[in-house]
Amino acid sequence: MPPLFWSIADSQNFSLDASGVAGFFGGEEAITAMATVHLYRGRRWLGWYNSPGSYTIAKDFGRISKSRLWGGLFPGTNHDPVVAFKLDVKTGPKYVASRSGTVMQQTGHFAHLLTQGTDDLTPHPLPATRTTANSHIFIVTVPEIAYENLPVQTMSIHHAVLASFPILISFSTCILSALFADWYCFAMILLGIISSGVTCFVIGSGVLGIETVKKPAEGSPPGDGILLMQNGVIILKGEEKDVNAITKGKFSLQLKGAPEYTVVGLCSLLLEVQFLLQLLLIPQGSLFGQIMFLTSVVASWAYNSFLASLDKEKLQRKLFCDTIGLHQTAMLSFQAGTRTSMAAFACFVLCGDLPRPLKGIEPMKILLEFVPNETPVWQKWRKQVVAQVEKEDEMSIFQPGNVDMSGLSSGERKLLTTLLQDADDAYKGYIETRNRRQSLTIAEKP
């Protein structure tokens, strides 16, 4: 062996002492990277590299296990698997069903994902005489969902090419440490590969599913309703059982060893043992071995950082939409110039296609969700919108001459005239949208 290599390998004048760094460095990135293990196909087989942050990972995932033993080793609040892997941590906006009268102040994780995905749609502007603050309207036609045979789709396995980078680096540095007879660093790199790989395989073997109310009460009306966002509204149209997937749905994750999840506790214990052994043995290695160990850790940290940088909500949203068959063609986006136009347009969409006289739906309740103001002007405006909804012909009745202006001051009359124009713009947009959707449906028929 060349003298230069001997002098590097046997140097006693300098020591990196990377043992403590490996246990804590990159812990948050490693946890976030592990949260993607259920989103990619085959990801559970790609954890065989010397991942940093073993102590942080053990403390976080160890709280999934539920028993007195694991509670003593990993103290803290127990996490459900879906919470630990950030699969059910967000709540969606308020939901109001137009047919059943159901009101949910908070919806589920899938409703939140749907609201975050609306930015990808190009809005179609509605007629607008004036513009105050642009309000967004989304019409989502929820497809029929066959819950009996519904495996959650996962992302492509193409990411395996990137996973080969930390795997190759970890195994190469492990072999080089052995060739230079640094058995301490060789053993620690190998233990890091094994503990990370086993943990990734065990956790990644969990079965990802969808949890929701799949069988509503017999005779339930359609689940049409609105999700009220801060600057817009999502109009859901579909059967009750299908809309439930959005309003009440969330991911479910079945790990092995439920309900105590002992196998997850054993993996966390293995990671803690790895951390303790690294503290003891890495300082005993040569400078060359410590460099190899640190190289494997840095390469693994770079890969974990890449996984941590991915938009997890975007990935989850794509998996959910692909699983239930909700594609962008079933989502239409519109932009209204005022919130008043948005409220009227939403009411027309929910009630306009129903047979007259209306049964089982109250347009006034829909309007009150948007504009609950109880001043005389708003009361007259809402009554006029409801009258338009209940008409059997398409002639607009939003001209000031069709409204009783008695009891209003001159200023209030001007305001009501302006609001009626907003409603008229929304009605014109609704008629245009409905006719276009009907023409597209006819064109698609053979």
The arithmetic mean of pLDDT across residues 108-126, rounded, is 89
The arithmetic mean of pLDDT across residues 331-347, rounded, is 93
The Cα–Cα gap between 137 and 412 comes to 28
Report whether pLDDT(441) > 70: no
The per-residue pLDDT for 73 is 87
* Confidence tier at 19 by pLDDT (50, 70, 90): low
pLDDT tens per residue across span 295-319: 999 999 999 999 998 888 988 998 8
The per-residue pLDDT for 1 is 42
The arithmetic mean of pLDDT across residues 404-425, rounded, is 92
Report whether pLDDT(7) > 80: no
* Confidence tier at 20 by pLDDT (50, 70, 90): low
Distance of CA 348 to the CA centre of its chain: 30
Ramachandran assignment for 42, one of left (phi > 0), alpha (psi -120 to 50 degrees), beta (any other):
left
pLDDT tens per residue across span 394-403: 888 898 888 8
The per-residue pLDDT for 4 is 44
The DSSP bridge partners found for residue 40 are: 155
DSSP-assigned states of every residue in 76-112: S----HHHHTTSS---B-EEEETTT--EESSB-HHHH
Residue identified by tokens 């999700």 is 227
Q: What are the start-end ranges of the E strands in 284-414? A: 331-336
| % of the chain at pLDDT higher than 70 | 90
Contacts of 407 (CB under 8 A, 6+ apart): 376
Cα dihedral 116, 122, 126, 129 in deg (nearest 10): 90
Distances (CA, A) of 362 to 226, 237, 319, 369, 392: 14, 16, 35, 12, 16
Contacts of 285 (CB under 8 A, 6+ apart): 177, 182, 184, 185, 188, 293
The per-residue pLDDT for 150 is 64
pLDDT tens per residue across span 225-276: 999 998 899 999 999 999 999 999 999 888 888 888 999 999 999 999 999 9
Report whether pLDDT(78) > 80: yes
Report whether pLDDT(22) > 70: no
**Residue with the larger pLDDT of the pair 155 and 418:** 418
From 223, 245, 231, 212, select the one nearest 138 (Cα to Cα).
Answer: 231
pLDDT tens per residue across span 384-393: 999 999 888 8
The DSSP bridge partners found for residue 335 are: 125, 136
Other Cβ atoms closer than 10 A to 252: 18
The Cα–Cα gap between 194 and 192 comes to 5
- In the chain, the N- to C-terminal Cα span, in Å, equals 78
Q: Please state which of the ranges 10-14, 211-215, 331-335, 404-408 shows the lowest mean pLDDT.
A: 10-14
The DSSP bridge partners found for residue 252 are: 209
Contacts of 360 (CB under 8 A, 6+ apart): 99, 221
Q: What is the DSSP letter of 191?
A: H
Residue identified by tokens 């995932």 is 61
Please check whether residue 280 is in contact with residue 8, taking contact to mean a CB–CB distance below 8 angstroms.
no
The per-residue pLDDT for 148 is 74
The per-residue pLDDT for 8 is 47
**Average pLDDT over all residues of the chain:** 86
* Confidence tier at 340 by pLDDT (50, 70, 90): very high
From 409, 408, 407, 387, select the one nearest 397 (Cα to Cα).
Answer: 387
Token digits of residue 128: 């607008």
